[in-house]
C-alpha cells in the first residue's frame, strides 16, 4: 500500500483542492442561473435522451479519461468474483430502491411530486459519476467498469418494472397514493448507450491502440497523465451547468430544496455505509470494498431527470427533485471520498495487485 502522505504530496493543485473547486463551481452555477433565468431554457433546448447537450458533453468528457485507465485484460478476474457481483446487484436493485422508497414516504408524505421524483432517482442506478468517485477514492477501476456495465444491463431490463412496483403496486397495496411512470426500455437503452457506451468504447480503443503503438508503460506514464485532468474539468463543467439550469428555482424555493435534500442526504449515507460494511464483512480488499460502496450510493441522475421531464414535464416537482439529486450527491460523495481515503490507512485486508 502506498504511503498516503507521499501520495498526497504528489497530487496536482486541481486534485488537492478539489472540494474548493466543486464549491466554486456550485456558486458559479447558482449565480449564472440566478442572473440569467432564461439560460435553463436555452441549455435544455438541445437534448440527448432528455438530458441537456452541455450536461451530456460534460459527462462524456468526465468519464473518458477514467475508462481509458481501465486495464481491460483484467476484467475476467473481476467477473470471476461472484460474491462481488451478487452483492452489488442486491445492493443496487433490492436495497437501494427500497431505502429510497421508505425515505421518500417518511420525509415527504405531504409532497407527492417531490416524493415521486425521489423514488425515480432511487430506481436509476449509477452509470456515470460513480466512475470518477471510485477513481478519486482509489477504488478498483476494473471492478467499477464491470459493475457499471452489469447495472446498465439491469437498468434496461428492470427500471420500468421497478417503477411500476414502487410507484403503483406497492403504494396501492399499502393504501397509499399511487403514481404512474411512462418509460420505454428503448429510451433507457439509448441513455445507457450514450452515457456509458460512448466513453467505454473510447476508453477501450484508447487502451488497445495506445498499448499496441507505444507499449503499456509509455501509455500509462505518458498518455494517461495528459488526459487525466479532463475528468475533473468535465466534472466541474457538469456541476456548473447543473446548478445553472435550476439556479433560479433553487434560490427561489430554498424550503422545498431543504425538504428534498434531507432524505437524499440520508440515502447516500445509508447506501454508502451499507456497501462499505458489506465489503468489509465479505473480506474484500479496500479497493473492491470502496467500489462496492460507491456503486451502491451513486445514481444515474441523467436517466432520472430525463424520465421525470418526459413523464411529468420540465417544470414539474418530479423534475426538480431529479435535479436536486446530483446537487446533493456531488458534495456528499466527494466527502465520502475523503472518508474512504482516511479509512484506507486502517483497512485490514490486502489490496488487489496492480
Whichever domain contains 317, its CATH number is 1.20.1530.20
**Distance in angstroms (rounded) separating the CA atoms of residues 284 and 278:** 9
* 53-69 vs 141-164: helix crossing angle, rounded to 10: 140
Q: Looking at residue 9, what is its pLDDT?
A: 44
Inter-residue contact 100 to 267 (CB < 8 Å): yes
Question: Euclidean distance between the first and final Cα of the chain, in Å?
Answer: 11
User: What pLDDT is stored for residue 44 in this prediction?
Assistant: 63
Q: Is residue 15 part of a domain?
A: no
Q: Tell me whether residue 297 is in a domain.
A: yes
Q: Is position 86 within any domain?
A: yes
Q: What domain range is 99 assigned to?
A: 69-233+252-344
Domain contains 183: yes
309 inside domain: yes
Domain count, the chain: 1
Query: Could you tell me where the DSSP H helices lie in 72-197?
Result: 75-79, 82-90, 96-107, 112-123, 129-136, 141-164, 170-173, 185-192
The C-alpha atoms of residue 275 and residue 133 are separated, in whole angstroms, by 14
Neighbours of 270 (CB within 10 A): 18
Per-residue exposure over 194-229, b if at least 16 CB sit within 10 Å of its own CB, e if not: bbbbbbbebbeebbeebbeeeeeeebbeebbeeebe
Reduced to 3 states (helix: H, G, I; strand: E, B; else coil), residue 36 is coil
Question: For residue 182, what pLDDT is reported?
Answer: 67
* pLDDT score recorded for residue 5: 44
pLDDT of the residue at 48? 63
Answer yes or no: is 11 within a domain: no
**Maximum Cα–Cα distance across the chain:** 63
Element containing residue 47 per DSSP (H, E): strand 47-48
Residue 46 lies in a domain: no
Q: What is the pLDDT along the chain (354 residues), one digit of tens a residue?
A: 444 444 444 445 566 677 788 788 888 888 887 777 676 667 666 776 566 778 778 878 887 887 788 777 776 777 778 899 999 999 999 999 999 999 999 999 988 889 998 999 998 887 767 888 888 898 998 888 888 888 888 887 888 888 888 988 888 888 878 777 666 667 767 777 777 778 888 888 998 898 888 988 888 888 888 888 887 888 788 878 877 776 666 777 788 888 999 999 999 999 999 999 999 999 999 999 999 999 999 887 777 777 777 677 666 788 788 878 877 888 888 889 989 999 988 887 655 444
Instruction: Please give the C-alpha separations between residue 79 and each of 145, 172, 229, 255, in angstroms, as whole numbers.
Output: 11, 39, 29, 45
Is 18 inside a domain boundary?
no
Note the pLDDT of residue 298.
85
Amino acid at each position: 500500500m502506498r504511503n498516503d502522505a507521499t501520495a498526497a504530496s504528489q497530487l496536482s493543485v486541481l486534485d488537492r483542492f478539489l472540494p474548493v473547486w466543486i464549491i466554486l463551481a456550485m456558486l458559479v452555477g447558482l449565480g449564472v442561473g440566478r442572473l440569467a433565468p432564461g439560460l435553463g431554457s436555452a441549455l435544455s433546448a438541445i437534448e440527448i435522451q432528455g438530458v441537456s447537450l452541455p450536461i451530456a458533453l460534460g459527462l462524456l468528457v468526465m468519464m473518458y479519461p477514467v475508462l481509458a485507465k481501465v486495464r481491460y485484460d483484467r476484467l475476467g478476474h473481476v467477473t470471476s468474483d461472484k460474491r462481488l457481483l451478487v452483492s452489488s446487484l442486491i445492493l443496487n436493485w433490492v436495497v437501494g430502491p427500497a431505502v429510497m422508497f421508505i425515505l421518500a414516504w417518511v420525509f415527504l408524505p405531504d409532497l407527492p411530486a417531490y416524493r415521486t421524483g425521489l423514488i425515480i432517482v432511487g430506481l436509476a442506478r449509477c452509470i456515470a459519476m460513480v466512475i470518477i468517485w471510485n477513481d478519486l477514492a482509489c477504488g478498483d477501476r476494473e471492478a467499477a467498469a464491470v459493475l457499471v456495465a452489469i447495472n446498465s444491463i439491469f437498468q434496461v431490463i428492470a427500471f420500468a418494472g421497478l417503477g411500476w412496483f414502487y410507484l403503483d403496486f406497492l403504494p396501492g397495496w399499502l393504501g397509499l397514493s399511487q403514481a404512474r411512470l411512462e418509460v420505454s426500455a428503448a429510451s433507457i437503452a439509448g441513455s445507457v448507450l450514450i452515457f456509458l457506451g460512448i466513453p467505454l468504447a473510447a476508453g477501450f480503443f484508447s487502451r488497445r491502440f495506445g498499448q499496441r503503438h507505444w507499449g503499456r508503460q509509455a501509455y500509462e506514464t505518458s498518455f494517461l497523465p495528459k488526459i487525466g485532468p479532463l475528468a475533473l474539468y468535465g466534472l466541474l463543467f457538469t456541476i456548473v451547468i447543473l446548478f445553472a439550469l435550476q439556479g433560479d428555482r433553487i434560490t427561489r424555493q430554498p424550503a422545498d430544496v431543504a425538504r428534498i435534500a434531507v432524505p437524499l442526504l440520508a440515502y447516500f449515507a445509508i447506501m454508502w455505509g451499507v456497501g462499505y460494511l458489506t465489503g468489509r464483512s465479505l473480506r474484500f480488499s479496500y479497493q473492491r470494498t470502496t467500489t462496492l460502496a460507491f456503486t451502491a450510493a451513486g445514481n444515474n441522475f441523467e436517466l432520472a431527470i430525463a424520465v421525470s421531464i418526459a413523464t411529468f414535464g420540465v417544470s414539474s416537482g418530479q423534475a426538480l427533485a431529479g435535479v436536486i439529486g446530483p446537487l446533493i450527491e456531488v458534495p456528499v460523495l466527494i466527502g465520502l471520498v475523503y472518508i474512504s481515503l482516511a479509512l484506507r490507512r486502517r483497512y485490514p485486508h490486502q489490496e488487489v495487485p496492480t
